[in-house]
Amino acid sequence: MRVTSGNAQTGDRVAIRLSHKDRSKGEITAVLGKAGTLEADIAEVLFSLNIEEFRYKAVKEAELNASRDISVASRRDFTFQPCFTMDGEGSKDFDDAVFAERNGNDFRLYVHIADVAEYVPLHSHLDKAAFARGNSFYYGDNVIPMLPEVLCNDVCSLNENVPRYTLSAIMDISADGDIMGGEICESVICSHKRMTYEMADKALKGETDEYDEFLPTLRILLELRDILKKKRDQNGNIDFDLAEPKFVFKNGEVISANKSPRLITHSIIEECMIAANRFVAKKFFDIKAPFVYREHQPPQTEKIEGLNVFLAALGVREVSPISSDIAKLLREVSPEKSSAVSRMTLKSMSKAKYSTSCEGHFGLALKEYCHFTSPIRRYSDLTIHRVIKSYLHGEDLDNYRSVVAEAATQASERERVCEKAERRIDEIYMASYMARFVGKKFVGIVSGVTEWGVYVELDNTAEGMIKAESLGTTKFDESTVSISISSGKTIRLGDKLNVKLISATSGNILFELN
């Protein structure tokens, strides 16, 4: 998807820079596409991200740094270890590779992360470009990368059967899920297999023999996943488990939209990454190093009070601002109310952010946490890799105090901007797909009730509104989060409704009661 700066034509959607002297005048700065088209809708969101093209000097730096030969000198050599990556089918950049083995009744877990800092020097042109972007932005089957392609998809990506520089977190984990110790080191690995979540899941179920060579390791990782997840759940980990859409594209158009499957293999990698992130965060907190932590504060009192009003209206018990109590609520709530309760509970939570202070992660129920595992995609991770490497080389870490502060602020801001854009693009793609079904009838679940209408979610995660005026005379009851309509029916959260799709344009879906 491209934003051009050519001459605009009638019917084009454009971006305009207003004159400072006369706000009624301005100049066209970009042509976004024909108004009302999918291309223009997406281009408008991308334009709002304010992402510049990589400049010549940054690209040249990337190409020069990428041309260096790999050497195992002064690094741990793990090229013999049969570690592997595991990602989605369409992934192109691979940050992490994993391996696990038994150590008596306990486990040793290896999480190898791409050593991007080796190729992106601090304050270089490359670094400034990555800082400005803050992260890679993924939308549909496209990506706007944080780093030039020669780095993110090639020399920094843990591609199969090629040696790569990594930072390795090696953890000794007890049979009860406690991280007993470990080390972090600069290393060289050679990923022995590029796995996908889908095929690894089939391998564990005995439905394919493609990964037979790695099946013993997969089974150890599955057992370790169960232990780590159980330990986190006991400590109060909050699992919202909200469905996300999965789009399939052909020639730039959405040809399929369904609920993204949640496989056990997703959880295996998630637990490995969480273990590495908490292990690294604790180590650098203990030595009082300048660092970028992932902070998630407990919810504010008024947010929990508002949530409890909502829960009471649904006939669900109240919760306290304690992670274990909120986690228990989400496990116990009935299936028909689960989505609505999860959404409202999530809205009541504080926003996670990056910080130089280690205040803990409420949602994960962890005292120390950071983002260490995705330096190709997140500037926060790249920054702490630099701190780690300096520590390993015995350098003075005080030089990083202003660096980590600037990185935490920028990464948090860019994350907020990109999350809003990702939600909007998902809405646009979903409406584009649903437009072919205008006039069709569906069964959906009431996901929201307001005085101006009722929100309904379909099985494929498409959410649309039934406007209040289309329901005749209505009466909204805030105390029960319900709306009474002229037919005598009362609509509540979690109700199943028969609806007809009446329009789907530019990210907005409208239903009518059928």
The pLDDT assigned to 337 comes to 81
Q: Which residue has the higher pLDDT, 341 or 24?
A: 341
What whole-number distance in Å separates Cα of residue 174 and Cα of residue 303?
A: 38
- For residues 297-332, one letter each, b for 16 or more C-beta atoms within 10 angstroms of the residue's C-beta and e for the rest, the string is ebbeeebbeebbebbebbebeebebebeebbbbbee
**What is the bridge-based pairing of β-strands 496-505 and 106-114?**
unpaired
Average pLDDT over residues 506-513: 95
Would you place residue 6 in the very low, low, confident or very high pLDDT band (cuts 50, 70, 90)? low
**Domain-embedded: residue 139:** yes
Q: What is the pLDDT, as a whole number, of residue 4?
A: 53
Residue 3 tokens, joined: 């934003």
| Helix or strand (DSSP H, E) at 42 | helix 38-48
Q: Residue 467: inside a domain, yes or no? A: yes
Rounded mean pLDDT, 247-271: 94
Say how many domains are in the chain: 4
Q: Let me know if residue 1 belongs to a domain.
A: no
Helices H / strands E in the chain, number of each:
12, 23
Supply the mean pLDDT for the chain. 93
Residues 294-314 have a mean pLDDT of 92
User: What's the chain's length in residues?
Assistant: 514
Q: Does residue 6 form part of some domain?
A: no
* More confident: 30 or 122: 122
Give the pLDDT mean for 122-148. 96
Query: What are the pLDDT digits (tens) for 144-196?
Result: 999 999 999 999 999 999 999 999 999 999 999 999 999 999 999 999 999 99
Q: Which helix (H) or strand (E) holds 30?
A: strand 26-34
CA angle 197, 198, 203 (to 5 degrees): 95
Instruction: Mark whether 148 and 277 lie in a shared domain.
Output: yes
pLDDT bracket for residue 22 (50, 70, 90): low
312 lies in the same domain as 403: no
Residue with tokens 């409406």: 431
pLDDT band at 19 (very low <50, low <70, confident <90, very high): low
Q: Summarize pLDDT for 440-459 with one digit per residue, the tens.
A: 999 999 988 999 999 999 99
123 and 200 in a single domain? The answer is yes
Confidence (pLDDT) at 310: 87
Looking at residue 26, what is its pLDDT? 72
Please give the pLDDT value at position 14: 79
Per-residue pLDDT tens for 207-253? 999 999 999 999 999 999 999 999 999 999 999 878 889 999 998 89
Domain boundary among 389, 415, 432: 432
330 and 411 part of one domain: no
The proportion of the chain whose per-residue pLDDT surpasses 70, expressed as a percent, equals 97
Q: What share of the chain is helix, strand, coil (3-state, %, to 5)?
A: 35, 30, 35
Tell me: do 285 and 357 sit in the same domain.
Answer: yes
**For residue 42, what are the domain limits?**
12-48
Query: In sequence order, which residues have a C-beta less than 8 Å from that of residue 166 and are 6 or more positions away?
Result: 78, 97, 112, 113, 114, 115, 158, 186, 187, 188, 189
The per-residue pLDDT for 242 is 80
Beta bridge partners of 497: 444
Burial 202-241 (b: 16+ CB within 10 A, else e): bbbeeeeeebeebeebbebbbebbebbbebbbeebbbebe
Q: For residue 237, give both structure tokens.
A: 């980990």
Bridge partners of 187, per DSSP, are 76, 166
Sign of CA dihedral 168, 80, 377, 278: negative
pLDDT digits (tens, 9 = 90+) for 378-407: 999 999 999 999 999 999 999 999 999 999
Q: So what's the pLDDT on residue 30? A: 80
Q: What is the gyration radius of the CA atoms in the chain, in angstroms?
A: 25
Q: What is the pTM of this model?
A: 0.93
365 lies in the same domain as 343: no
More reliable by pLDDT, 58 or 261: 58
**One domain for residues 323 and 285:** no
